[in-house]
């Protein structure tokens, strides 16, 4: 049964604790390149991270909680990168129209996913295996909010802003996640980008 929330036993308030938790996440990702998530053991994770088994249980009650947090952090970092890029576009241009703006952001998103294609393919797969519906909804809402932030300089009407942000997430998440779930080593990114932009124009 999937847990309703990520169960983190100890939140890293100090820098050392944060480094330890991040090391555990990075170890899991490294091991994921070698074997499937269900085959990875907690002992392997702690060995790669260079910490004791007891340290793992200071932060997590089980492996699935570490996986859920790793997914959450990965998606959150992606959202922050997207917003930072969008802000840089606005600062660099005084006459940027919304269509060109969105095309450049989608191009950037495709580039970011392509650079970490293996991890994204695993993220979408594990998201379905590990995350509860509540966690999934929170993650989805975070990405919709990201699109709202990105669109806010161009759309002042609240109803339109809400619906456009939601539709952007539906299209981008749907196209990318379904593509990588079916074909983890997908290579026709330019075609996919064109299809996404075409869908948004319609």
pLDDT tens digits, one per residue of 101-130: 999 999 999 999 999 999 999 999 999 999
Residue 194, pLDDT > 50, answer yes
Average pLDDT, the chain: 91
Domain-embedded: residue 170: yes
Which CATH number is 138's domain given?
1.10.357.10
Q: Which residues contact 139 (CB under 8 A, 6 or more apart)?
A: 71, 72, 75, 127, 131
Split into its structural domains, the chain has a count of: 1
What DSSP character marks residue 38? G
* pLDDT attached to residue 4: 45
Report the distance separating Cα 190 and Cα 172, nearest Å: 14
Domain-embedded: residue 34: no
With the C-alpha atoms ordered 189, 92, 200, 121, is the resulting torsion angle positive or negative?
A: positive
Domain-embedded: residue 162: yes
Residue 166, pLDDT > 90, answer yes
Query: Which band of pLDDT confidence, cut at 50, 70 and 90, is reported for residue 16?
Result: confident
Query: Which band of pLDDT confidence, cut at 50, 70 and 90, is reported for residue 6?
Result: low
Q: What angle do CA 88, 109, 139 make, to 5 degrees?
A: 105
Domain-embedded: residue 58: no
Of 10-19, 49-58, 136-145, 151-160, where does mean pLDDT reach its minimum? 10-19
What DSSP character marks residue 8? B
* pLDDT attached to residue 18: 86
Query: Which band of pLDDT confidence, cut at 50, 70 and 90, is reported for residue 14?
Result: low
What's the pTM? Answer: 0.87
Domain-embedded: residue 189: yes
Q: Please, are residues 100 and 108 in contact by the beta-carbon 8 Å criterion?
A: no
pLDDT digits (tens, 9 = 90+) for 131-152: 889 889 999 999 999 999 999 9
Domain extent, residue 136, equals: 65-201
Domain-embedded: residue 30: no
Proportion of the chain above pLDDT 70, given as a percent: 93
The Cα-based distances of 60 to 6, 21, 48, 150, 182 in angstroms read: 9, 9, 16, 34, 31
Domain-embedded: residue 132: yes
Average pLDDT over residues 61-80: 95
Domain-embedded: residue 190: yes
């Amino acid at each position: 049964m999937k847990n309703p929330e990520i169960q983190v036993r100890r939140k890293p308030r100090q820098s050392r604790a944060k480094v330890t938790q991040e090391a555990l996440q990075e170890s899991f990702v490294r091991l994921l390149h070698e074997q499937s998530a269900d085959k990875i053991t907690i002992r392997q994770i702690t060995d790669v991270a260079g910490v004791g088994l007891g340290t793992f249980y200071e932060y997590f009650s089980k492996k699935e909680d570490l996986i859920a947090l790793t997914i959450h952090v990965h998606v959150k970092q992606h959202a922050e990168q997207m917003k930072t890029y969008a802000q840089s576009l606005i600062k660099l241009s005084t006459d940027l129209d919304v269509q060109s703006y969105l095309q450049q952001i989608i191009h950037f998103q495709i580039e970011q996913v392509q650079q970490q294609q293996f991890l994204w393919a695993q993220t979408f797969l594990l998201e379905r295996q590990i995350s509860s519906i509540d966690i999934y909804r929170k993650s989805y809402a975070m990405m919709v909010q990201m699109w709202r932030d990105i669109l806010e300089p161009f759309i002042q009407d609240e109803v339109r802003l809400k619906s456009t942000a939601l539709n952007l997430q539906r299209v981008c998440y749907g196209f990318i996640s379904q593509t990588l779930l079916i074909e983890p080593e997908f290579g026709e990114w330019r075609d996919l980008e064109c299809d996404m932009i075409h869908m948004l124009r319609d």
